[in-house]
Amino acid sequence: MDQGSVTDAARQLHVAQPSLSQAIRGFESELGVQLFHRVGRGLRLSPAGQALVGPARQVLRAIEEARNAITGVTELRSGTLEIAALATLAVDPMATLIGRFRDRHPGVQVRVLEPESADGVGALVRDGACELGATHLPLRDQQLVAHPLGEQELLLVLPPDAAPQDDRPLGARRLAATPLLVSPPGTSTRMLLEQALAQVGATPKVAVETAAREAIVPLVLAGAGAALLPAPLAREAQRRGATVRNARPKITRTVGLIHRQGSLSPAASTFLALSPHHA
């Protein structure tokens, strides 16, 4: 419409002139109107063609905006990366990894969802709600790919007045006799606790069961019971006055990132590449 001839328009669009002429005829046939008057070797817009100019320019602007948006995502200048993470892993190791990623790509927003269990993390990743997941390994879902990040030790956190001069590790029998603050059945730390006590034929002595993980350390500090926490959270509780003990044998879990099989978005691929132990 801006060039005055099909030949000039074809040159501007980098397409063959016959292909453009055919496309115009097909479009006119689909609309049921004539968009151009053929005058010699040139074209002149018909009234219907003139009515189409505004909407056509809007479409071109929208296409350009879409192209710019896609370029921003692929070049990690914009977009969103959604990650499902167990609550205990959102602090360590995910806080460090997310900080490292955001430092390099500040235009990409990271959204973290915290399901209650490892199965919940797997479900969010498998169903496509999140592209990456942070959970304990090994996986039970063979449809997902796992990238181990290392071992995480869990420590017992006790109230401040729990014999602070006694720094001996707690064996499974002493652990079985300790009133405990626990997360709901099926959660990662609850399963590890139950596995450790099963070695001596015991079950946890539950003092408080809560899904509110942010309440666990305040409850310990208030004397409501002891809790099993990952080492970084346990050391933070210790700085706030709690007593911390190692378990014997050690209670550990392998943690890692998971994703669906197949290609990843540029943001997810980059995040994975920034993680330790990634090959």
What CATH number corresponds to the domain at position 92? 3.40.190.10
Q: Please write the tens of the pLDDT for every residue from 195-206.
A: 999 988 999 999
Which of helix, strand or coil describes residue 263?
coil
Helix, strand, coil share of the chain (percent; to 5): 45, 25, 30
Specify if 243 maps to a domain: yes
Within this chain, do residues 163 and 123 fall inside the same structural domain, yes or no?
no
Q: Which is more confident, 49 or 231?
A: 231
**DSSP H or E segment with residue 148:** strand 144-158
Q: Please write the tens of the pLDDT for every residue from 3-49.
A: 456 677 667 667 777 877 787 888 778 888 888 777 766 677 788 87
Asked whether residue 1 carries a pLDDT value surpassing 50, the answer given is: no
Within this chain, do residues 259 and 146 fall inside the same structural domain, yes or no?
yes
Q: Which residue range(s) make up the domain with 182?
A: 151-253
Within this chain, do residues 48 and 109 fall inside the same structural domain, yes or no?
no
Asked whether residue 216 carries a pLDDT value surpassing 70, the answer given is: yes
Q: Please write the tens of the pLDDT for every residue from 100-139.
A: 999 999 999 999 999 988 899 999 999 999 999 999 998 8
The Cα–Cα gap between 188 and 197 comes to: 15
Within this chain, do residues 164 and 211 fall inside the same structural domain, yes or no?
yes
Answering whether pTM is above 0.75, one says no
DSSP string for residues in 30-71: HHTS--EEEETTEEEE-HHHHHHHHHHHHHHHHHHHHHHHHH
Q: Please write the tens of the pLDDT for every residue from 157-208.
A: 999 987 666 778 889 999 999 999 999 998 888 999 999 999 889 999 999 9
Which of helix, strand or coil describes residue 206?
strand
Domain tally, the chain: 3
Partners of 43 in beta bridges: 38
> What pLDDT was estimated at residue 182?
95
The domain boundary, picked from 51, 74, 97, lies at: 74
Ramachandran area for residue 150 (φ above 0: left; ψ -120 to 50: alpha; else beta):
left
> What pLDDT was estimated at residue 72?
63
The Cα–Cα gap between 84 and 125 comes to: 7
> What pLDDT was estimated at residue 10?
66
Q: Please write the tens of the pLDDT for every residue from 43-78.
A: 777 888 788 877 877 777 677 766 766 776 677 888
CATH assignment of the domain containing 19: 1.10.10.10
> What pLDDT was estimated at residue 163?
65
**DSSP H or E segment with residue 192:** helix 188-198
Within this chain, do residues 240 and 161 fall inside the same structural domain, yes or no?
yes
